[in-house]
Amino acid sequence: MENKNRISFSPGLMNATGEIPEKLTNDIVLHSITQNNKDVLKGLTASLLMLPVSEVTDVELMNPIDYRNYTDKEIILDIKALVNGRKIVNVELQMSLATDSTWWLNRSLLYLCRTFDNLKGGNDYGYIRPSMQVCIVPKELFSDTEPEFYSQYYLKNERSGHIYTRDFSLRVLYLNHTDMATDADRSSGLDYWAKAFLASTWEDLKGLAERGDVFKEVAEEMYTVNADENQRSLAEAHRKYVETFTTLTNGLARAEKKAEEAEQNLQKAQQEAQKQVQEAQQQLQEALQQLQEAQKQVQESEQRAANAEQSAREEKQHAETADAELAKYIERFGVLKENN
């Protein structure tokens, strides 16, 4: 229930104004405030499990960090909490994400599988603790699904829809769809948590704290982290590392996309060139056929000419022979006439 009374803040937070240096979307900040304040951890996990805070009787952070000896080489699951001594919840922030990212999908599944693999040696399988992976992202993971604020995924039968187990699940909180929060989401306070993650100024954060519940503690803890030079420096260094990694990753993704487009263009050019070569070969074959036909026609014409020439010679020979015979006849006829 919303508290109508004016919230009282610590002097430092009361006087804080303007942009928050290191926000709740910073892994270090989120981990620090949930490690330092059990009520904050309980409030966050209760909302993500969509349970009343009163039903979360105990919560334990399973991966605390010693910030005095922290290095960026440590591999950290953002938050790994054991709820009521039974269920393990992993909360993973991923603010730099490409839609349809196979890398992220595989990573979230790997984290969930590692968490579910929690059976101690010699124990019965019934002692495996239920596990849930929560991904907090700034935009859609998939381009082919309807947008929503809080997605829940389970293993299920594809034909009947029967859920195989609820002890192995994955949930996604989309910070860009707070307007799509359901009544159940709002009842669990998830919309306020999303607004807390998106808060960029101290005024925004203190405005959420006017709700009068755990968000006052969130604001106070965030101020403490930002006021502590050591933790703020760690958070800043981590943020810059993530920004650099994101820039490099996006650059690599763009380069891969350009390489893929170049490969596609090359394939198209090769196909077009092959098509042109085939057409040229076809045209050459047709030209060769036409040449062969022309050569055949020339040969036939030459043969006809040779035949005609041979016929002419034979006719001439026949004519010469006839002339000779006629001359002989005339000569003979003339002799006979004189004798008479």
The domain of 21 spans: 11-263
Q: What is the pLDDT of residue 339?
A: 66
Res 2 pLDDT > 50: no
**pTM for the model:** 0.73
What sign does the dihedral 239-242-244-246 (CA atoms) show? negative
Mean pLDDT for 182-209 is: 95
Give a yes or no: residue 272 inside a domain: no
Secondary structure (3-state) at 59: strand
Mean pLDDT for 192-221 is: 92
Token pair for 223: 């101020």
Q: What is the pLDDT of residue 3?
A: 44
Q: Within a 13 Å sphere around the CA of 102, how many CA atoms are in the beta-carbon half?
A: 1
What's the angle, vertex CA 158, arms to CA 154 and CA 162, rounded to 5? 60
Give a yes or no: residue 340 inside a domain: no
Give a yes or no: residue 142 inside a domain: yes
Please state, as a whole number, how many other Cβ atoms lie within 10 Å of the Cβ of residue 165. Answer: 10
Confidence of residue 320 (pLDDT cuts 50, 70, 90): confident
Output helix, strand, coil percentages for the chain, rounded to the nearest 5: 60, 15, 30
Give a yes or no: residue 331 inside a domain: no
Give a yes or no: residue 131 inside a domain: yes
Please check whether residue 82 is in contact with residue 42, taking contact to mean a CB–CB distance below 8 angstroms: no
Res 126 pLDDT > 80: yes
Give a yes or no: residue 241 inside a domain: yes
In the block, residue with structure tokens 């192995």: 168
Domain tally, the chain: 1
Q: What is the pLDDT of residues 271-287, one digit of tens each?
A: 988 999 999 899 999 98
Confidence of residue 1 (pLDDT cuts 50, 70, 90): very low
Mean pLDDT for 248-258 is: 79
Res 21 pLDDT > 90: yes
Give a yes or no: residue 301 inside a domain: no
Give a yes or no: residue 159 inside a domain: yes
Q: What is the mean pLDDT of the chain?
A: 88
